[in-house]
Amino acid sequence: MLKTLRFEEPDCPPHFEAMFELEQEAFGLSFPDREAWAHCSPGEKECMIDQCMEIYQKIIERYRWDALAVFWPWSDPDGVVAAKKTFGDDILIGSIVGGSVWSLENIEDWSQFALGLYEHPEHIHKVAEEMTQRAFEKFDRLADAGADFIHVANDVAGNDGPFISPAHFRQFVLPYLQRQVQRIKDDDAIPFVHTDGNIMSLLDDYLSLGAALFQSVDPMARMDIAEVKRRTYGKIALMGNVQCSLLQNGPDEAIRRSARYCLEHASPGGGYIFSSSNTIFPGMPLENYEYMLDVYHEFCTASP
């Protein structure tokens, strides 16, 4: 992982997923209900974290992950502490923080938001600052718990491009995201950033963040990882791009083409982590994810 993030070519590109939610299909086990975390007692929380660690151990053992973003419990330092205790320094351990800037998932009333961009920009900035301060608190606690990396996840684009104009993005989103990436660095953790969608018009803005890694590289939004790698190599590492819709629906040959394209175009020279273009989500056929990994291991075995 560290060699890859430094753009040193490893023997084989590393692999992990931001989330894996096929634990029932793979192991006959289940993560605790996501609603249970908010109201559990300290003792119940400890048992739930142990339940998560058992599943994480099985995931990492079977699928040979090189890192783990502790997604249950979400953005929780106790989960990071438990994962560091479980895995030591064998793999990188991190956490995920979402909702830290204005993004698709943070807008309830689109008419009011659109009006605010023009008539009440001070309110848009005020809310952005509040989100940033909450994110800072989470980053600090996660770093204090020992997180090696923090994955900042905000969907700022759809298939046709950013959710607001590039000019508005640079006014209302980019400065806050830049400060957040710097805060993670100041906390001595490695900053990762995520968005789905087509951000080709924002690619230079994402490079300006100074993050170590950009995750998704969404092929369904026409993000060609060969072109993205050409424009970003040596500046920000990439993770993802194996097309999730193909992992959902197949067929195998299409999964193979997508996986091979990523491996052949993104892995040379380091700076690439092999993964799906989003997560391994509920309802995806487990055999499709495992076939994707078969293609990956064939590539690694054949690499000189």
What predicted TM-score, i.e. pTM, was given to this entire model?
Answer: 0.96
Give the DSSP H or E segment for 101.
none
Q: In the prediction, which pLDDT does 302 show? A: 86
Number of Cβ within a 10 Å radius of residue 111: 7
Instruction: Return the structure tokens found at 197.
Output: 């969608």
pLDDT value, residue 191: 98
Q: Residue 281: which residues within 8 A CB-CB, separation 6 or more?
A: 19, 21, 244
Which pLDDT belongs to residue 303? 57
Taking the chain (304 residues) in runs of 10, the rounded mean pLDDT of each run is 95 97 98 94 97 98 98 98 97 98 96 96 98 98 98 98 97 98 98 98 98 98 98 98 97 98 97 98 98 97 73
Q: Report the distance separating Cα 142 and Cα 125, nearest Å.
A: 25
Of the chain, the end-to-end C-alpha distance in Å amounts to: 19
**Distance between CA atoms of 195 and 214, rounded to whole angstroms?**
8
Q: Which amino acid does the sequence have at 136?
A: F
Q: Supply 181's token pair.
A: 């990436």
Please, what are the domains in the chain?
2-12+96-302 (3.20.20.210)
Distance, in Å, from the CA atom of 207 to the CA atom of 223, rounded to the nearest integer, reads 15
Q: What's the confidence (pLDDT) of residue 304?
A: 56
